[in-house]
Structure 1
Amino acid sequence: MARLYRLATKSLQLAALLITVFVTVTLLTSTNETQPDSSKSDVNSNDAESLHFLPPRGGDEGGGRVLCWVLTSPERHHLRAWPVKQTWASHCDHHVFMSTRADEKLGAVRLQVSEGYELLWGKTKAALQYLYHHHLHHAEWFLKADDDTFVVVENLRYMLQPYDPRLPLYFGKKFKSANISQGFMGGGAGYVLSREAVRRVVEQGFTNSTLCTAGHRGREDLQLGACLAAVGVMAADSRDHLGRDRFLSFTPETLLSPGGVTAKGHAWFWNLVYYPTREGPGCCSDTAVTFHYVSPTMMRSLHYLLYTLRLASPSDPPPPRPPDDAASVNKQEKTS
């Protein structure tokens, strides 16, 4: 019974903490939700081991290790990439930043492509080729994020538990396309590919221009979606069992506010979203994996609320007194 009580208490604490996160974030200063400038790249084998490692976990069957690769650019290393490294990236088994300038301290590799949003397809191909050649066997799952994406890695692991990374799968926020019957995953909310999906897209897709677009120009997410479909990678459903989204294209503040998505200038979203999607308190899964358009300030706030803040339990012992309070109270007791 005591064990069941502890489990129930922990579940209630987690649920209350998630509510606290959402409510607090809605009070934060609004994030600038403009089109992200992620457009950079070059593959230099000399940069191969600027990846950051943690001890291996898991195996090939269900769940497994997660490698997080983050698209960034030289001018955003300090402003955007460092807050990612200092917060959620440390929860991945491995993480690497894909840029056009190597930065050993950050863990950024230099991809050999030109910068520019219109060239993001070329950068994404270079990044996946880099992962294939240097890190394919360092993880079972490969998560792509932008440098303004916040990822709850523990929830990603939880979501992936039922799935075998030896199958050709990818997950994310799914959108409709007239040319891709299974839809494609939007880039901003991030997406995760199984090891088999990475292998297929590099070995079969990037080597065949009839399957995948040659050159560097094009929308990263749309081009990759078409390429993955062509090599038999399934665009899987990442929603929870209640149909609530786990990969989220906007901040909690925007999603929790009725009309917030349109008010932020994203009316296009409703025409393209693949599954029925809601705004307001029912917008998001309680095991959400990603949020997009997250400022460095909000990124640090979310990380604190999720990983540092804890709810006190009635069963907790009384807290120790703060130093000044203890001294003054002791002095008061002596004079009484």
Structure 2
Amino acid sequence: MSIVDPSIQRLGPPPHFPNMNLKICHSAEHPNSNFIESEGGHQVLQKIKRGIQKSQQILNSNTKRPKVLCMIYTVDTPSNTRNLKAIAQTWGRKCDGFIASSNVMNHSLGSVHLTHEGDETYGNIWAKIISTWMYAYRNYIQEFDYFYICGDDTYVAMENLYAFLMSDDVTRLQEGYRDAIYDATIGESSIYTHEMRPRPLLLAAPMMYKRKPVISGGTGYILNRAALNLFGRNIMNPREAQYTNVTSSMEDVFMGQFFLRHGVSVSVTNDFANGGGRRFAGTADNSFSYTPTSDSSKPVMLQRRYGLPLVYGPDTASEQQIAFHLKDDWKRMQKFGFHVSDLMYRYHAVLYDLCQSK
């Protein structure tokens, strides 16, 4: 298996956005919406644009920030390749390193041909995820401080991600702070990772599964170097066969369960400094009309067990939101003749003022 240079230079020269496709910038009018992202979604994006600007000020005032390797899991189909190209031309270039786990090698898209157990199907994503994390563990663990993974239908505000990793919230967690989820779950374990230095961290949107907190994988998740080291050293151990000898699409559940077994719970990632909004959430349109009672991640149970805030409507999205799962708008995109990749470009255009109007 070849080892690629994960630097952004591998993607080639940056695209020229000042003349962005009029379809994205100016021709989004439809009978029910003046924007691809919806009227409400546009309001949410404007809120997050202000957050990105604040994050940029934080980054500009610090001489050192952590290095992040961004990883995408994908497969070579026309639709997925459009998504991956959009990522490689937008937010992917803001990472310190970028690779896409695929079934083909394509340097301009950042993709690497990684093999894994079983078939290349949606129902076998967990095997693909194991292969991707092991590739990072074996080849890049010393090059980066944090490792973020998501699917090819996710948009990421990288300035907000970097600002979060540099925040007091994450610093406290790394220094051993026991948040509500950790106390209620790892407190029952014999493994106390809050005593470890560096402490392994799993940063994501929490989700309840069989009354245990795991991760909601649609918006991706972050491991620090210590967590990746824990995963890489243990996942292939025969004692972990309950995780490795499984064919499943529930990679987020298995990842969360693996880490719980090793004394690491998903950390609370709500933005309490700004009303408790979520840093990992769905699309901007989804956030505008969000009600927690209809969310499959069971936020009501998260509130009851761990005190996580229940947020509604536009307050759902923190202005420091990091990741957006664009799959939420897939049916809407089809209805209006757009693709998820169009929404990816649209978010980028709005958040960074790349269009002359709208």
Counterpart code for 1:184: V
1:268 aligns with 2:296: yes
Moved over 4 A (4+): 24-27, 269-273
Q: How much has 1:310 moved relative to structure 2?
A: 9.3
Match of 1:98 among 101, 106, 127: 101
1:286 aligns with 2:286: no
Alpha carbons 1:28, 1:298 under 8 Å: kept = no
1:120 aligns with 2:144: no
Aligned length: 254
Alpha carbons 2:290, 2:312 under 8 Å: kept = yes
Structure 2 equivalent of residue 198 of structure 1: 228
| CA shift in 2, pair 1:91/1:293, >3 Å | same
Alpha carbons 2:271, 2:277 under 8 Å: kept = yes
Structure 1 equivalent of residue 69 of structure 2: 67
Distance (Å, rounded) in 2 between the aligned partners of 1:268 and 1:291? 16
Match of 2:244 among 214, 217, 220: 214
Match of 2:217 among 187, 190, 199: 187
Distance (Å, rounded) in 2 between the aligned partners of 1:273 and 1:30? 30
Query: Percent identity between the aligned chains?
Result: 24
- The structure where helix makes up a greater share of residues is 2
TM-score (norm. length: structure 2): 0.64
Structure 2 equivalent of residue 137 of structure 1: 142
- Give the unaligned 5+ runs of structure 1: 1-23, 32-56, 312-336
* Higher RCO structure, 1 or 2 (CA under 8 Å, sep 6+): 2
For residues 1-336 of structure 1, the aligned pairs below 5 Å read 27-29=34-36, 64-75=66-77, 76-113=79-116, 114-161=119-166, 162=168, 163=170, 166-178=198-210, 180=212, 183-210=213-240, 213-218=243-248, 219-241=250-272, 242-248=275-281, 250-257=282-289, 268-270=296-298, 274=302, 275-293=308-326, 295-309=340-354
Alpha carbons 2:276, 2:311 under 8 Å: kept = no
| CA shift in 2, pair 1:226/1:144, >3 Å | same
Distance (Å, rounded) in 2 between the aligned partners of 1:277 and 1:293? 22
Q: How much has 1:129 moved relative to structure 2?
A: 0.3
Alpha carbons 2:72, 2:150 under 8 Å: kept = yes
TM-score (norm. length: structure 1): 0.68
Deviations 1:203-226 (A, max 9, x none): 023324347512241210000101
**Aligned-residue RMSD, C-alpha:** 2.9
- Give the unaligned 5+ runs of structure 2: 1-27, 39-61, 175-197, 303-307, 328-339
Alpha carbons 2:36, 2:346 under 8 Å: kept = no
Counterpart code for 1:72: T
